[in-house]
Amino acid sequence: MNSGDERSAAERQESSRRAALPQLRHPILLAAFSGWNDGAEAATSAVEHLALSWDATAVWEIDPDEFYDYQATRPTIRQKEGVTRRIEWPVTSVSTCVLSGHDRDVILVLGPEPNYRWRTFCSQLVDFAEAANVEMTVMLGALLADTPHTRPVPVSGTADTAEAAKRLGLELSRYEGPTGITGVLSDAFVQAGIPSVSLWAAVPHYVAHTANPKATLALLTNLGTVTELPIPLGDLAQRADEWEEVISEMTMDDEDMAAYVHELEHASDEDLNDVMLRIDGEELAAEFENYLRKRGDSPD
């Protein structure tokens, strides 16, 4: 274990700035990180959208010096009228959102994927979550995939226990392979006894270098389903439609690209047909009746 992992909680706190943490009601923590985990900026855009919509209050910034390589993740200069105003460092910010009319509040975590000391970084966030009595965490991510921009955005959700997966309608995580900070942080929460789930949107790899509001919308829609939070979508649906229209116009101007998108559409439709053919009609009807009973309704 390196010296950074052996530091006490008090010593770790010296490397960060934290405001007084307000009393939160049954808080859920939502996190997204730019970089490897954030294809087409879909995940970080989702958290940014929530921060604006819910009027988030910043309560903590993790000191970046021990976690970032500034040659790889450079600070930026912000100017006004040609005069340097400030340097913005690549910090991970933590903010709180008090949701009026709802019995839960939200903590948002947003920042670039760190370059160094991931275990120490995650330990700080786990300490914060424990101090805030966080009851559930959700990691948001987006990956590049062979998916067409003209079809619904595939969103996969995973949980770390079979019970949570069944309760939330997600898959039990069975992934093996390289992971990013979202995977490491999710595991750190689980090891600390805090439930964690992950939602990943698949974004078209051929338009990965521009923000994808359609994928952001899909992540937020699924987030609302999993957490039962009142997710404000604002004008995201309109922006998603406009984005799809612009990308369609661009791809239609290139015969090779248009043909490639058509192949992806065909493959996507075939996958959907395979899923529909595997559905057991009686099982589906039973699930629907069970759903109605839980609501107190009748299928008749």
SS3 77: strand
Q: Do 112 and 22 fall into the same domain?
A: yes
What is the bridge-based pairing of β-strands 83-88 and 76-80?
Answer: antiparallel
Same domain, 259 and 150: no
Look at residue 249 and tell me if it is in a domain.
no
Residue 272 vs residues 101, 127, 171, 215: alpha-carbon distances, Å: 38, 43, 18, 18
Summarize pLDDT for 107-158 with one digit per residue, the tens. 999 999 999 999 999 999 999 999 999 999 999 999 999 999 999 999 988 8
The torsion angles phi and psi of 51, rounded to 5 degrees, stand at -60, -40
- 98 and 193 co-located in one domain: yes
* C-alpha neighbours within 13 Å on the C-beta side of residue 131: 15
In a domain, 246, yes or no: no
- Supply angle C-alpha 99, 181, 27, rounded to 5: 20
> Is residue 150 in a domain?
yes
Please indicate, yes or no, whether residues 214 and 144 belong to a single structural domain of this protein.
Answer: yes
Please tell me the total count of domains within the chain. 2
Per the structure, the complete domain to which residue 147 belongs is given by 9-234
Q: Is it the case that residue 251 has pLDDT exceeding 60?
A: yes
Rounded to whole angstroms, what are the CA distances from 292 to 177, 225, 279, 296?
A: 40, 17, 20, 6
pTM score, two decimals? 0.83
Q: How confident is the model at residue 284 (pLDDT cuts 50, 70, 90)?
A: very low
Which tens digits make up the pLDDT trace of 165-204? 888 877 766 777 889 999 999 999 999 999 999 999 999 9
Check whether residue 225 and residue 273 sit in a common domain: no
Residue 30 lies in a domain: yes
CATH of the domain at 140: 3.40.50.10900
Q: What is the per-residue pLDDT across 197-233, written as a single tens digit (0 to 9) for each?
A: 999 999 999 998 889 999 999 999 999 999 999 999 9
Residues 185 and 266 in one domain: no
Inside any domain, residue 130: yes
Residues 76 and 206 in one domain: yes
- Confirm whether 103 is domain-assigned: yes
Determine what percent of the chain falls in helix, strand and coil, rounding each to the nearest 5. Answer: 40, 20, 35
What is the three-class DSSP state of 107?
Answer: strand
Q: Which of 9-13, 77-81, 181-185 has the lowest mean pLDDT?
A: 9-13
